[in-house]
Structure 1
């Protein structure tokens, strides 16, 4: 028997990504002029996810997973804050400092 907390944990799949085979039908339905609500209900995908897939497709022309763009910038800022006495050239040559 599942408890309420187990059930909630199973529904909270934030770290899981939608496969390409599930993103394609979202775009197909969108091109057939279906609403986000209808796509969400038909494919059993949350509305924010459907909206995000469509927005990404409109902006980038792809639904493929993209690497996080700000991760490198955050690492560099952290490195600079941690070792402010180093020169920019030495940080650029060896970001693992």
Structure 2
């Protein structure tokens, strides 16, 4: 099984923006059609590092 594609910066920013608007991880996941674990990981990374960008 291969890796899925990387999320765009826009989708990552949309997730963070929804989080800032007090939407739950479940609501964000359903709205953007992205797994909850992915949304949770992006939000956690944003809280810890202050950015949702991928590392080079």
TM-score, length-scaled by structure 1: 0.53
Q: Deviations over 1:33-80 (max 9, x none)?
A: 11000000001111000000000000000011014xxxxxxxxxxxxx
Q: RMSD over aligned Cα, in angstroms? A: 1.5
Task: List alignment gaps of at least 5 residues for structure 1.
Answer: 1-8, 68-97
The correspondence of residues 38-77 of structure 1 with structure 2, limited to 5 A, is 38-67=27-56
- Of structures 1 and 2, the larger Rg is shown by 1
C-alpha displacement of 1:22 = 0.6
Higher RCO, Cα 8 Å, sep 6+: 2
Aligned mates of 1:23, 1:37 — CA distance in 2? 15
Aligned mates of 1:42, 1:25 — CA distance in 2? 11
How many residue pairs match? The answer is 56
Task: List alignment gaps of at least 5 residues for structure 2.
Answer: none
Aligned mates of 2:50, 2:18 — CA distance in 1? 16
C-alpha displacement of 1:16 = 1.6
